[in-house]
Amino acid sequence: MDVRIEESWKKELAQEFEKPYFERLTEFVRQEYNSGTPIYPPAKLIFNAFDHCPFDDVKVVILGQDPYHGVGQANGLCFSVNKGVAFPPSLLNIFKEVAADTGAPIPTDGDLSRWSNQGVLLLNATLTVRAASAGSHQNKGWEQFTDEVIRVLADKRSNLVFILWGSYAQKKGSFIDRSRHLVLTSPHPSPLSAYHGFFGNHHFTRTNEYLISHGKEPIEW
Protein backbone atom coordinates (compact mmCIF):
# COMPACT_ATOMS: atom_id res chain seq x y z
CA MET A 1 0.00 0.00 0.00
CA ASP A 2 1.32 3.43 -0.94
CA VAL A 3 1.02 5.62 2.13
CA ARG A 4 1.82 9.33 1.88
CA ILE A 5 4.32 9.58 4.67
CA GLU A 6 7.89 10.85 4.93
CA GLU A 7 10.27 8.51 3.08
CA SER A 8 12.38 7.28 6.00
CA TRP A 9 9.23 6.35 7.91
CA LYS A 10 7.79 4.69 4.83
CA LYS A 11 10.86 2.45 4.76
CA GLU A 12 10.78 1.65 8.49
CA LEU A 13 7.04 0.92 8.54
CA ALA A 14 6.72 -0.75 5.12
CA GLN A 15 5.71 -4.12 6.55
CA GLU A 16 3.07 -2.49 8.76
CA PHE A 17 1.37 -0.89 5.78
CA GLU A 18 0.79 -4.33 4.22
CA LYS A 19 -0.90 -5.89 7.23
CA PRO A 20 -4.66 -6.62 7.10
CA TYR A 21 -5.45 -4.38 10.07
CA PHE A 22 -3.88 -1.38 8.33
CA GLU A 23 -5.90 -2.03 5.19
CA ARG A 24 -9.07 -2.12 7.31
CA LEU A 25 -7.99 1.06 9.10
CA THR A 26 -7.32 2.83 5.81
CA GLU A 27 -10.77 1.91 4.50
CA PHE A 28 -12.43 3.10 7.71
CA VAL A 29 -10.57 6.42 7.64
CA ARG A 30 -11.36 6.93 3.95
CA GLN A 31 -15.06 6.38 4.59
CA GLU A 32 -15.00 8.78 7.53
CA TYR A 33 -13.43 11.58 5.50
CA ASN A 34 -16.02 10.99 2.77
CA SER A 35 -18.95 10.87 5.19
CA GLY A 36 -19.75 14.58 5.20
CA THR A 37 -18.96 14.87 8.91
CA PRO A 38 -15.79 16.88 9.60
CA ILE A 39 -12.83 14.69 10.52
CA TYR A 40 -9.69 16.09 12.10
CA PRO A 41 -6.93 16.80 11.32
CA PRO A 42 -7.29 17.64 7.61
CA ALA A 43 -6.47 14.50 5.63
CA LYS A 44 -3.20 15.88 4.32
CA LEU A 45 -1.98 16.32 7.92
CA ILE A 46 -2.70 12.83 9.27
CA PHE A 47 1.02 11.95 9.16
CA ASN A 48 2.25 15.48 9.86
CA ALA A 49 4.25 14.38 12.93
CA PHE A 50 6.31 12.04 10.76
CA ASP A 51 6.71 14.51 7.91
CA HIS A 52 8.26 17.05 10.30
CA CYS A 53 10.52 14.56 12.03
CA PRO A 54 12.29 11.90 9.90
CA PHE A 55 13.18 8.61 11.60
CA ASP A 56 16.90 9.29 12.04
CA ASP A 57 16.25 12.82 13.33
CA VAL A 58 14.06 11.78 16.27
CA LYS A 59 15.57 12.68 19.64
CA VAL A 60 12.46 12.96 21.80
CA VAL A 61 9.00 11.37 21.64
CA ILE A 62 6.01 13.04 23.34
CA LEU A 63 2.97 10.79 23.36
CA GLY A 64 -0.58 12.11 23.22
CA GLN A 65 -3.87 10.25 22.89
CA ASP A 66 -6.40 11.74 20.44
CA PRO A 67 -6.25 14.71 18.09
CA TYR A 68 -8.22 17.75 19.19
CA HIS A 69 -11.81 17.47 17.96
CA GLY A 70 -12.71 21.18 17.82
CA VAL A 71 -12.86 23.28 14.67
CA GLY A 72 -9.43 24.31 13.39
CA GLN A 73 -7.47 22.86 16.31
CA ALA A 74 -5.81 19.60 15.23
CA ASN A 75 -2.77 19.84 12.96
CA GLY A 76 -1.34 16.33 13.21
CA LEU A 77 1.08 17.10 16.04
CA CYS A 78 0.01 16.05 19.53
CA PHE A 79 -0.90 18.94 21.88
CA SER A 80 -0.22 21.44 19.05
CA VAL A 81 -2.63 23.93 17.47
CA ASN A 82 -2.23 26.24 14.52
CA LYS A 83 -1.21 29.86 14.87
CA GLY A 84 -4.18 32.01 15.79
CA VAL A 85 -5.99 29.20 17.63
CA ALA A 86 -6.54 29.65 21.37
CA PHE A 87 -4.41 27.43 23.59
CA PRO A 88 -6.33 24.36 24.82
CA PRO A 89 -5.96 23.97 28.61
CA SER A 90 -3.40 21.14 28.44
CA LEU A 91 -1.19 23.06 26.03
CA LEU A 92 -1.31 26.17 28.22
CA ASN A 93 -0.21 24.05 31.19
CA ILE A 94 2.63 22.60 29.11
CA PHE A 95 3.81 26.13 28.31
CA LYS A 96 3.54 27.11 31.98
CA GLU A 97 5.80 24.19 32.94
CA VAL A 98 8.26 25.03 30.16
CA ALA A 99 8.43 28.60 31.47
CA ALA A 100 8.87 27.53 35.09
CA ASP A 101 11.40 24.85 34.19
CA THR A 102 13.54 26.62 31.60
CA GLY A 103 12.77 30.32 31.97
CA ALA A 104 11.53 30.51 28.38
CA PRO A 105 8.58 32.89 27.94
CA ILE A 106 5.14 31.49 27.12
CA PRO A 107 4.95 31.68 23.31
CA THR A 108 2.43 33.72 21.36
CA ASP A 109 1.13 30.72 19.41
CA GLY A 110 0.59 27.02 20.00
CA ASP A 111 2.17 25.65 16.82
CA LEU A 112 4.64 23.03 18.07
CA SER A 113 6.18 22.37 14.67
CA ARG A 114 9.11 24.39 16.04
CA TRP A 115 9.67 21.44 18.41
CA SER A 116 9.16 18.71 15.83
CA ASN A 117 11.59 20.39 13.46
CA GLN A 118 14.24 19.95 16.17
CA GLY A 119 13.64 16.21 16.53
CA VAL A 120 10.61 15.97 18.82
CA LEU A 121 8.13 13.41 17.48
CA LEU A 122 4.73 14.66 18.63
CA LEU A 123 2.81 11.41 18.32
CA ASN A 124 -0.84 10.83 19.11
CA ALA A 125 -1.89 7.23 19.78
CA THR A 126 -4.87 7.77 17.46
CA LEU A 127 -4.21 9.92 14.41
CA THR A 128 -7.75 10.91 13.42
CA VAL A 129 -11.02 11.84 15.15
CA ARG A 130 -14.60 12.81 14.28
CA ALA A 131 -15.58 16.42 15.00
CA ALA A 132 -16.91 16.99 18.51
CA SER A 133 -16.59 13.29 19.31
CA ALA A 134 -13.56 12.50 21.47
CA GLY A 135 -12.29 8.95 21.08
CA SER A 136 -14.44 8.27 18.02
CA HIS A 137 -11.58 6.69 16.05
CA GLN A 138 -10.13 4.64 18.89
CA ASN A 139 -9.91 0.85 18.55
CA LYS A 140 -9.92 0.99 14.75
CA GLY A 141 -6.24 0.13 14.31
CA TRP A 142 -4.40 3.36 14.94
CA GLU A 143 -3.20 2.18 18.34
CA GLN A 144 -1.58 -0.91 16.81
CA PHE A 145 0.13 1.28 14.23
CA THR A 146 1.48 3.77 16.77
CA ASP A 147 2.61 0.94 19.05
CA GLU A 148 4.79 -0.20 16.16
CA VAL A 149 6.13 3.34 15.69
CA ILE A 150 7.24 3.37 19.32
CA ARG A 151 8.63 -0.15 19.07
CA VAL A 152 10.74 0.52 15.98
CA LEU A 153 12.19 3.64 17.57
CA ALA A 154 12.88 1.86 20.87
CA ASP A 155 14.52 -1.09 19.09
CA LYS A 156 16.51 0.61 16.35
CA ARG A 157 17.56 3.85 18.02
CA SER A 158 19.47 4.51 21.23
CA ASN A 159 19.42 7.27 23.85
CA LEU A 160 16.04 8.71 22.95
CA VAL A 161 13.82 10.50 25.46
CA PHE A 162 10.23 9.23 25.75
CA ILE A 163 7.91 11.64 27.58
CA LEU A 164 4.80 9.89 28.87
CA TRP A 165 2.20 12.09 30.56
CA GLY A 166 -0.74 10.34 32.17
CA SER A 167 -1.63 6.69 32.69
CA TYR A 168 -2.64 6.06 29.08
CA ALA A 169 0.72 7.13 27.68
CA GLN A 170 2.60 5.32 30.43
CA LYS A 171 0.83 2.06 29.68
CA LYS A 172 1.44 2.45 25.95
CA GLY A 173 5.17 3.00 26.54
CA SER A 174 5.57 0.35 29.23
CA PHE A 175 7.71 -1.92 27.03
CA ILE A 176 10.44 0.66 26.30
CA ASP A 177 13.87 -0.45 27.52
CA ARG A 178 14.78 1.97 30.32
CA SER A 179 18.44 0.96 30.15
CA ARG A 180 18.62 2.11 26.53
CA HIS A 181 16.44 5.23 26.65
CA LEU A 182 15.33 7.89 29.12
CA VAL A 183 11.63 7.48 29.96
CA LEU A 184 10.06 10.42 31.79
CA THR A 185 6.63 10.00 33.37
CA SER A 186 4.26 12.26 35.27
CA PRO A 187 0.55 13.03 35.51
CA HIS A 188 -1.10 14.51 32.43
CA PRO A 189 -1.02 18.31 31.86
CA SER A 190 -4.82 18.53 31.76
CA PRO A 191 -6.39 20.82 34.40
CA LEU A 192 -7.72 17.72 36.19
CA SER A 193 -4.25 16.40 36.97
CA ALA A 194 -1.65 19.09 36.30
CA TYR A 195 -1.43 20.09 39.98
CA HIS A 196 -0.89 16.49 41.05
CA GLY A 197 2.63 16.17 39.68
CA PHE A 198 2.78 17.55 36.16
CA PHE A 199 3.79 21.00 37.36
CA GLY A 200 7.32 20.74 38.67
CA ASN A 201 8.22 17.56 36.75
CA HIS A 202 11.16 19.37 35.08
CA HIS A 203 10.82 17.16 32.01
CA PHE A 204 12.12 19.81 29.65
CA THR A 205 15.41 20.47 31.45
CA ARG A 206 15.81 16.77 32.23
CA THR A 207 15.38 15.98 28.54
CA ASN A 208 18.04 18.46 27.54
CA GLU A 209 20.48 17.31 30.20
CA TYR A 210 20.16 13.75 28.89
CA LEU A 211 20.54 14.80 25.25
CA ILE A 212 23.65 16.85 26.03
CA SER A 213 25.14 13.98 28.03
CA HIS A 214 24.82 11.78 24.92
CA GLY A 215 26.33 14.32 22.54
CA LYS A 216 23.07 15.62 21.09
CA GLU A 217 21.84 19.16 20.61
CA PRO A 218 19.31 20.19 23.27
CA ILE A 219 15.80 21.23 22.33
CA GLU A 220 14.95 24.91 22.34
CA TRP A 221 11.64 24.65 24.13
Q: What is the dihedral sign for C-alpha 189, 140, 134, 33?
A: positive
- With b meaning 16 or more CB within 10 Å and e meaning fewer, what string describes 101-118? bbeeeeeeebbbbebbeb
CA distance from start to end of the chain: 36
User: How many alpha carbons fall within 13 Å on the CB side of residue 167?
Assistant: 2
Q: Which residue among the candidates 2, 57, 66, 101 is catalytic per the annotation?
A: 66
Residue type, 89: P
Does the active-site annotation cover 147?
no
Q: What beta strand segments (E) does 28-160 contain? A: 39-40, 60-64, 120-124, 129-130
Active site amino acids: 66
